[in-house]
Amino acid sequence: MRRINTCIAVLLAASIGAAQEQSARDWASLVGQRYEAVRDIVYKKSGGFEAKLDVYTRYDRKPGPTIVYIHGGGWANGSKEQYVLWFLPYLQLGMRVVSVQYRLAHVAPAPAAVKDCRCALYWVFQNAGKYGFDHTKIVLTGGSAGGHLVLMTGMLRPSDGFDNECSGPPPGQAAAIINYYGPTDLVHGLDVKTPFLETWLKGNANPRLLAERLSPLHYVRPGLPPVLTIHGDADEMVDYQDAVKLRNALLAAHVQNELVTIPDGHHGRFRWTDADTIRVQRAIENFLRRLGLTG
């Protein structure tokens, strides 16, 4: 009987695997017929700088859950196009994607990037009907400096003083935030000389005060969107304790959140094992499905 049950289990696993493989092949064949890219949409002008974003949405503009992606790079590098292949799992989940450009440190120091990302969120809500975004299912995600920026974008309120360059009615609240190893305590980051942070804050009369204003921990309060944080415990650029402090603060404020730890994980997904990367993606999918945020 045990042998029969084992055989049944093996056959069942094989059939599920074959079905998943077929489903993946079918999706890859259909995605180009269902989705289009609308590139370099100007969402904000700052002096001579045009802040742009890219939209990946369905041709039929049917409203659906939407990922707003903010790239990393120490607030000094990176682009909205750099990790375009990272969007594929979200498209496969039936989501739309908005990829945001913002002013890097050499263009404008802090807090310009935060102000830009807040204005991008304004644009997403104001253009939801045009591009097929379900404004009740907006999810923010990004890694490293992008993780910091999505936390700030999703936690800030207009009254916090970063929205003065945005136009139109204020956005609604994001439905969830997915934070890949973003710095959450920038004062501590200054103390330990986090790479790029001093450059981003350069020129400010009181960088420690600005670092406090730009720390997501400063804005933790009840009523925030659910937060999923992913962080390696061997991260050499952003202290793993930033993730722990955020988790503990969110728990104390009774905000739904989860911390996924990558054992021996260093900074950057490309430095994780394939198994860790898949585990993280499954955790994200489960997080989104529990919240009803997939297509």
- Check which CATH number belongs to the domain holding 83 and give it: 3.40.50.1820
- For residue 11, tell me if it sits in a domain: no
| Pairing of the two strands 133-143 and 96-100 | unpaired
- For residue 5, tell me if it sits in a domain: no
Dihedral of the alpha carbons of 109, 111, 112, 116, in degrees to the nearest 10: 150
Per-residue pLDDT of the chain (295 residues; tens, 9 = 90+): 444 444 444 333 434 445 556 677 888 888 888 999 999 999 999 999 999 999 999 999 999 999 999 999 999 999 999 999 999 999 999 999 999 999 999 999 999 999 999 999 999 999 999 999 999 999 999 999 999 999 999 999 999 999 999 999 999 999 999 999 999 999 999 998 887 999 999 888 899 999 999 999 999 999 999 999 999 999 999 999 999 999 999 999 999 999 999 999 999 877 799 999 999 999 999 999 999 999 8
91 closest CA partner among 55, 128, 122: 55
Total domains in the fold of the chain: 1
- For residue 132, tell me if it sits in a domain: yes
- For residue 10, tell me if it sits in a domain: no
**Look-up of token digits 């289990």:** 9
pTM, two decimals, is 0.92
The pLDDT of residue 196 is 92
176 closest CA partner among 122, 139, 229, 137: 139
- For residue 183, tell me if it sits in a domain: yes
- For residue 185, tell me if it sits in a domain: yes
**Which residues span the domain enclosing 211?**
35-290
101 closest CA partner among 129, 134, 75, 139: 75
Whole-angstrom distance, CA of residue 75 vs CA of residue 141: 15
